[in-house]
Amino acid sequence: MRSKSILRNRNALALAVSTALFGAGTVALAAPVLEEIIVTAQKREQTLQDVPVAVSAFSGEFIADANISDIRGLVDLTPGFYGKTEDSFIDALSIRGIVTNDFGIGGDPSIPVFTDGVWQGRNGGVQMNFYDIERVEVVKGPQATLFGRNAIAGAVSIITNKPIDEFEGRISGGIAEYDHFDVHGMVNIPLSDSWYYRGNIQGLDEDGWLENLAGGDDLGYHQQVSTRQSLRYAGDAVDATFTVTYEDREQDPSVYWDPVLGLDKDQVNIDLGDKGFDESEIFGFTANVQWDLNEDYTVSSITGYKTYKFDYLEDYDARPEHINDYRQKNDVDYFSQELRLNFSGDSVNWFVGAAAYDETVDGYFEYRYGESDLCRAIARTQPRGVGGPVTGCTDPLFEAYWGSPIDPALLDENKSEESWNDVESKGYSLYGDMTWSVTEKLDLTLGARWSYDEKDMRTRVGKSGGALGNNLSWEYHTKGLCRRQRQLGRVHASRGAELRAERAGLALRQRCHGLQVRRFRYLRHHGAGCRRRRQSRYHQQRPGVGGKRADRLRSGNLDQL
């Protein structure tokens, strides 16, 4: 299996690195030489040893040698970092166990990812190709004052290579099993004494590696094309870099393994055949400008714009029956602006800044299933309620469970339930951080951030028809005791007040129609003299079915299908 071969390669790499480190230890007694690693986790250049927070830093050279193509490749190499997934949505990144797998467009990822200082926003838009980058920093622990909203457990910062004043270029490629082929190219050209250009392009193609017993091509296909073009002006006091990125990804969606097939996880049996897809298109623009006012003061401006389109279709139930084909489409526009003033002194270093963002997300969700297959599946997961296996929706046992006769002429074997959603988010923040070097071995740091986040969500649920009617309907309630939007969340002794943006409105998280009812409540943001309570409910409504029976229709027995 491909994942096993990758694991063996990574274990071999880890063994080689460990051997090199232990071997170098004997030589270090005679001539100790340590490579100085510079990071910017605290918004200023520092050696890794001087940063008072937990940081795992990976150089671009190491990433290239280890053949790490994106952020998922760092998961196995970073203690406390988790979130491997085969699809491009990257929906489960976590640091130290803090994670959200919220698929809804109203939520935000719990681990923010930044590229050259610009927040990457939606989970599916963070998988930037790691070709021709300077380094990646994984910062652990609450980072509200440094990185802003939702950095409740840490953050990931990706720094790309800037154009330089020398000509250089390279091209490389590789082949591997499953007809894998990739090619990379980069060129850096000095245009004048002050202007430099750097561009790269990368392409990858790989055939499927999972046999689908339902027929069709093997699953696991992956194709990707990406490019990054940068122009830099390096003057006496001003250093400005303008970067345009584009990435197009096409691959098969996540494939779920069915225990019925035994231990061979290279085989699947799904009703979609090879017709599922995972497609993304990302365009981004970044402007980074630094202006040295004098030796002590520097003004930084970071401007980011990004558009992201995502279209995804998978067979969630991992069965050949037509029970739950899940589709999601997102169309995202994101703009951000940040201004920061840094001071660097002998014993005191500080910075103050302001940031603002505006984001619009248009979302589409669809669940498609056959009503007869769904009735049989419900009978298998609810044998006591239904009375045993049934032949279909018109089986007398199922009609008795349903509470009313079902017209076979109305049965829809390719039924679609759809919802259309859009979210408008905006916010701004003021922040500051100061470090006082009391002695050579003692630093005192104080940081604070004030944030305002506002989200407006609208949703529309279509009528699906069929013999069973709509399986799910949604209600959303908000109750508040105050109107203030400025509220603080969790408090951490190491960094003061932790900020987390509210989830907007209705996040559609249902996984399987007729098989799961999800009800949840969550409490957010306690401020002085103010408490807001937000409650979301998902109800399942069927003729003749009360709340108690609906509560029992959960997905806990989904693996038994």
What CATH code is carried by the domain that includes residue 315?
2.40.170.20
pLDDT score for 147: 83
pLDDT at site 91: 62
Residues 494-523: what's their mean pLDDT? 35
**Is residue 356 assigned to a domain?**
yes
User: Residue 431's beta-bridge partner residues?
Assistant: 353, 449
| 106-112 mean pLDDT | 77
Question: Which of 301, 318, 311 has its CA nearest to residue 267?
Answer: 318
| pLDDT value of residue 462 | 78
Mean pLDDT of 48-65: 85
Residue 180, domain extent = 56-370+425-431
| Rounded mean pLDDT, 68-92 | 77
For residues 251 and 313, is the Cβ–Cβ distance under 8 A?
no
Q: Quote the CA–CA distance of 418 and 363 in Å, as a whole number.
A: 11
Mean pLDDT of 22-45: 59
Average pLDDT of 140-166?
Answer: 86
Any bridge partners for residue 260, and if so which?
none
d(CA 538, CA 557): 19
Confidence label for 360 from pLDDT (cuts 50, 70 and 90): very high
In a domain? residue 500: no
Of 236-245, 372-381, 420-429, 432-441, give the range with the top mean pLDDT.
236-245
Q: Is residue 339 part of a domain?
A: yes
Band the pLDDT of 149: cuts 50, 70, 90.
confident
Q: What is the DSSP string of 418-461?
A: EEEEEEEEEEEEEEEEEEEE-SSS-EEEEEEEEEEEEEEEEEEE
* Position 387 pLDDT exceeds 60: yes
Per DSSP, the chain holds a count of helices (H) and strands (E) of 7, 28
Q: Which residues pair with 76 in a beta bridge?
A: none
pLDDT for 283 beyond 70:
yes
pLDDT over 90 percentage in the chain? 27
Grade residue 20 by pLDDT with cuts at 50, 70 and 90.
very low
Q: Is the pLDDT score of 528 beyond 70? A: no
Pairing of strands 267-268, 277-292: unpaired
Distance of CA 226 to the CA centre of its chain: 18
What gap in Å lies between CA 259 and CA 265, rounded to an integer?
Answer: 9
Q: Is residue 381 part of a domain?
A: no
Alpha-carbon gap, residue 141 to 500, rounded angstroms? 14
Alpha-carbon distance of 455 to 426, in angstroms, equals: 7
Locate 10 and state its tokens: 């990574």
**301-328 confidence digits (pLDDT tens):** 999 999 999 888 887 766 677 777 888 8
Among 86-100, 359-373, 477-491, the range with the most confident prediction by mean pLDDT is 359-373
What separation, in Å, do the N-terminal and C-terminal C-alpha atoms of the chain show? 25
The pLDDT value given to residue 202: 93
35 is a domain residue: no
Query: Which one has a higher pLDDT value, 67 or 522?
Result: 67
Least confident of 30-39, 68-77, 189-198, 470-479: 470-479
Q: Which of 212-226, 291-305, 323-337, 415-429 has the highest mean pLDDT?
A: 291-305
For 132, 208, 280, 515, the CA distances from 202, given in Å and listed in that order, are 10, 20, 16, 42
What is the reported pLDDT for 416? 84
What does the pLDDT read at residue 233?
98
Q: What is the pLDDT of residue 2?
A: 39
Q: Is 329 helix (H, G, I), strand (E, B) or coil?
A: strand
- For residue 495, pLDDT over 80 is answered with no
Most confident of 29-43, 76-90, 357-371: 357-371
Interval 531-551: pLDDT, tens: 222 333 323 333 333 222 222
pLDDT band at 5 (very low <50, low <70, confident <90, very high): very low
Contact 137, 63 (CB under 8 A): no
What is 139-193 written as a DSSP string? EES--HHHH-TT-SSEEEEEEEPPP-SS-EEEEEEEEETTTEEEEEEEEEEE-SS
Residue 106 · residue 503 · CB < 8 Å: yes
Could you tell me the pLDDT band of residue 332, with boundaries at 50, 70 and 90?
very high
Average pLDDT over residues 413-439: 90
State whether residue 246 is helix, strand or coil. strand
336 or 272, which is more confident: 336
Give the pLDDT mean for 508-516: 32
Asked if residue 241 has pLDDT above 90, the reply is yes
- Return the pLDDT at 513: 31
Handedness of CA 76, 82, 84, 90 (dihedral sign): negative
Q: Classify residue 101 by its DSSP letter.
A: -
What was the pLDDT predicted at 497?
37
What does pLDDT average to over the chain?
73
Which pLDDT value is given to residue 244? Answer: 96
Least confident of 197-206, 354-363, 464-473: 464-473
**Distance, CA of 241 to CA of 406 (rounded, Å):** 65
Q: Cα torsion for 231, 228, 137, 490, to the nearest 10°?
A: 100
What does pTM read for this prediction?
Answer: 0.72
Q: Sign of the C-alpha dihedral, residues 211, 214, 217, 220?
A: negative
Residue 417 confidence (pLDDT) above 90: no
In a domain, 561, yes or no: no
Count: domains in the chain? 1
- Could you count the other beta carbons within 10 Å of the beta carbon of residue 394? 16
Position 558 scores a pLDDT of 27
- Which whole number is the average pLDDT over 60-68? 88
Among residues 433, 444, 429, the alpha carbon closest in space to that of 499 is found at: 429
User: In the beta sheet, which residues pair with residue 290?
Assistant: 239, 300
Supply the DSSP symbol for 48: G
Contacts 24+ apart (CB under 8 A), 10-19: 10/66, 10/76, 10/77, 13/66
Query: In this predicted structure, what is the pLDDT of residue 322?
Result: 77
| Least confident span in 247-251, 256-260, 402-406, 523-527 | 523-527
Scanning 29-119, the segments in alpha helix (DSSP H) are: 60-65
Give per-residue pLDDT as tens, 363-380.
888 888 888 888 888 888
The reply to whether 37 falls in a domain is no
Backbone angles phi, psi at 175, to 5 degrees: -130, 155
Amino acid (1-letter code) at residue 488: L
Q: What is the pLDDT of residue 35?
A: 64
> Is residue 182 in some structural domain?
yes
| The pLDDT of residue 77 | 87
pLDDT greater at residue 341 or residue 72: 341
Residue range 55-65: mean pLDDT, rounded: 89
Coil, strand or helix: which one is 523? Answer: strand
